[in-house]
Amino acid sequence: MLQPILRYMPHEYNFDIVGVRFASYLLTAFLVLGSFGSIAIKGFNFGIDFAGGVLMEARAPQAIDLGHLRGEINGLEIGEVQITTFGTDGRDVMIRVPQQPGGDAAQNVALKKVQGVLGDGYEIRRTEVVGPKVGGELIISGALAIALAIIAIAVYVWFRFEWQFALGTCLALCHDVLTTLGIFSIFHLDFDLTTVAAVLTIAGYSVNDSVVVYDRVREMLRKYKKMPLPELLNSAVNKVLPRTLLTVFTVLLTVLALLILGGSALRGFSIAMLWGLFVGTFSSIRVGLPVLLYFDLRANDGDGLPGGAAAQAQRKAA
């Protein structure tokens, strides 16, 4: 399948990424500010993991008519109930009942209503109740996980390269995370623990792209000491662009398969990954790379000795 694409795909590019950086900055500012605005005004549509509620797994004696079951349960007027099937034979169902106003008593009433609709034919295999306090703790834990992941990645890039590259990586990661959260806020998509997992996956994918580009930049800094920095950055990103596009295409096939065939249980994760796939590639090339122009990369003389120490050492030895 990939062979026809590889045959007609250019193996060399000559895009002026650095020359159009201000247009990229404007688009980045628009996406980030729009995401901030939506999160501040609309907030998130938290799922049961964060908002609280009841999670029930049941098994039917035969294949489930999902449309009929949804109609009966939604007629109970207990909020927007999420109903999804899983497994290979269509007999297993997962029901998520949102947090009910009125505390535990109201929650138990809603649970009994759902059990009444299912009847004796269904085997209740699991019932979990998530209270609002637990949901609040999960929100804090999820935000902390994302923040610590960004810090840990920045520290790794700092030790692996230089602080300039770490700062560029942080900017790209913050852009990816904020715009992904903005997508969930703008379109009021369900935000649950799978979304947090998707955001962390996006961060890993984005830093992978950034490290590949930065490694080529560092290599060229050592090899072409007199090449103008804008030209060097453009050359570096154009050399790794074929590899980046192939990676995007192959991951895209997987994400589309999850989105189309994964069902509603994986829809939020798939949408986050699909958005993150494009925005992560964009930020690595259009955000994390051009900002290196504003740092004195030549001060290291390409040898990792700060403040031009490499050049001074060579002069003293001579």
| Domain range annotation of the chain | 2-44+135-302, 53-130
Report CA-CA distances (Å) from 172 to 123, 183, 208, 209, 282: 48, 17, 12, 10, 9
Q: Please tell me the predicted confidence (pLDDT) of residue 182.
A: 92
Q: What is the pTM of this model?
A: 0.75
Helix (H, G, I), strand (E, B) or coil at 301: coil
Residues 91-103 have a mean pLDDT of 79
Beta pairing, strands 190-191 & 92-98: unpaired
Helix (H), strand (E) at residue 100: none
Best-predicted range by mean pLDDT (33-37, 68-72, 257-261): 33-37
Q: What is the pLDDT of residues 245-261, one digit of tens each?
A: 888 888 899 899 888 88
Give yes or no for residue 51 having a pLDDT over 80. no
CATH number assigned to the domain with residue range 2-44+135-302, chosen from the 4 options 1.20.1640.10, 3.40.190.10, 1.10.3720.10, 3.30.70.260: 1.20.1640.10
On the 0-12 / 13-18 / 19+ scale of CB atoms within 10 A, 6 is: exposed
Please, what CATH class does the domain formed by 53-130 belong to?
A: alpha beta
On the 0-12 / 13-18 / 19+ scale of CB atoms within 10 A, 203 is: buried
Q: pLDDT grade, residue 8 (50/70/90)? A: low
Task: Provide the mean pLDDT of the chain.
Answer: 80
Strand ranges for 169-268 from DSSP E: 190-191
Q: Distance between CA atoms of 201 and 247, rounded to whole angstroms?
A: 15
Q: What is the pLDDT of residues 213-271, one digit of tens each?
A: 888 888 888 888 888 888 888 888 888 888 888 888 888 998 998 888 876 667 888 89
Edge-to-edge strands, sheet with 53-59: 82-86, 92-98, 53-59, 123-130
Higher pLDDT pick, 308 / 25: 25
Helix (H), strand (E) at residue 206: helix 193-223
